[in-house]
Amino acid sequence: MGSVAPLPQQHQLGYDLLMSAVTLSGALGSLRFFDELAKRDVFDKKLSRKLVHICVGLIFMLFWPLFSDAPRARYLAAIAPLTNALRMVAFGTGLLENKAFVKAVSRDGHPRELLKGPLYYAITISIATLFFWRNSPCGVVTIANLCAGDGFADIFGRKYGRWKLPYNPNKSLQGSVAMFVMSAAFSMLYTFLFSQLGYFDMGVRTIIGIVAVSLATTVVESLPISSALDDNLTVPATAMAVGLLTL
């Protein structure tokens, strides 16, 4: 049997535009879902914010396989996180108002906070999409460390963090263990998924690289530098740097 012929270029463009719209709808829909949870006070404000942090980027990556193999696909996929970044700027500067969204995403409910961590988060995912895309495990692992690792570290640290780190009393051993385990676990899961879809090979070197990246981001996340640098910058920057060396 012969292989299925690829879509003609003009059909690929239309298809990728459609997938871009689907991805954007999915991203905005997931944010709207958490907006509604915030309105109804289903979760504690801090837990709600971290659930957004964990889920949005991981859900976004699930849309990547929907796009064609055309070089333009990554740029059309990046429209979703870039749109989210623009929304952070709009809400953070007061150009637009959405109290539920601000409540779900910010730490203290102040719109200006969206111009820090949440904006860095959206920009980081945009960079991982544009520069690495689904063809490199580095981008996948970067987003997994940012979303799952950093998100679960905060949740577990707040709930179970009894043993504080000697060099940073604001962080705990339990939170750091959660950071490493969840970073590695979700990195493995998504890397395996994308390797099964044929985007890259997953071998022993990839597994070692995932462990190295997860360990490095765990150490960086635990450092007492949050007053100067945001985890949404330091964690993905570390993941990208170590990932480029090891993956």
Q: Hey, which residues does 165 pair with through a beta bridge? A: 168
Do residue 25 and residue 110 come from a single domain?
yes
pLDDT digits (tens, 9 = 90+) for 63-90: 999 999 999 999 999 999 999 999 999 9
- Classify the C-alpha dihedral 30-227-115-133 as positive or negative: negative
CA-closest candidate to residue 137, choices 56, 16, 242: 242
- Domain membership of residue 4 (yes or no) is no
Considering only residues 204 and 40, tell me which one the structure prediction assigns the higher pLDDT.
204
Whether residue 98 is found in the same domain as residue 212: no
Does the pLDDT of residue 5 top 80, yes or no?
Answer: no
Same domain, 126 and 139: no
Is residue 1 situated within a structural domain?
A: no
154/91 same-domain check: no
Please tell me the distance from the alpha carbon of residue 150 to that of residue 64, in angstroms, as a whole number. Answer: 22
Helix (H) or strand (E) holding 73: helix 73-77
Same domain, 118 and 153: no
Contacts of 213 by beta carbon, 8 Å cutoff, 6+ apart:
141, 142, 145, 183, 187, 238, 239, 242, 243, 246, 247
Residue-wise pLDDT for 177-191, tens only, equals 999 999 999 999 999
The verdict on 42 and 150 lying in the same domain is no
- At 7 the pLDDT is 58
Among 131, 161, 177, the domain-final residue is 131
Examine the domain organization and report whether 141 and 244 are in the same domain: yes
What is the mean pLDDT of the segment spanning 38-44?
78
Domain count, the chain: 2
Report d(CA 80, CA 75) in Å as an integer: 10
- Of 104, 131, 158, the residue that ends a domain is 131
**Structure-model confidence comparison of residues 52 and 4, the more confident one:** 52
Residue 233 and residue 201 share a domain = yes
Confidence of residue 32 (pLDDT cuts 50, 70, 90): confident
What are 131's two structure tokens? 């520069």
Residue 3, domain member (yes or no): no
In the predicted model, what is the mean pLDDT of residues 93-100?
86
- 183 and 91 both lie in a single domain: no
Overall pTM > 0.85: yes
Claim to verify: residue 126 and residue 167 sit in the same structural domain: no
pLDDT at 154: 94
Distance (Å) of CA 164 to CA 43, 67, 72, 174, 215: 26, 44, 47, 8, 18
Residue 11, classed as helix, strand or coil, is helix
The per-residue pLDDT for range 128-171, each reduced to its tens digit, is 999 999 999 999 999 999 999 999 999 999 999 999 999 999 99
pLDDT digits (tens, 9 = 90+) for 228-238: 689 999 999 99
With the C-alpha atoms ordered 115, 116, 122, 125, is the resulting torsion angle positive or negative? positive
**Which domain covers residue 207, as residue numbers?**
134-247
Q: Cα torsion at 116, 74, 197, 142 (round to 10°)? A: -20
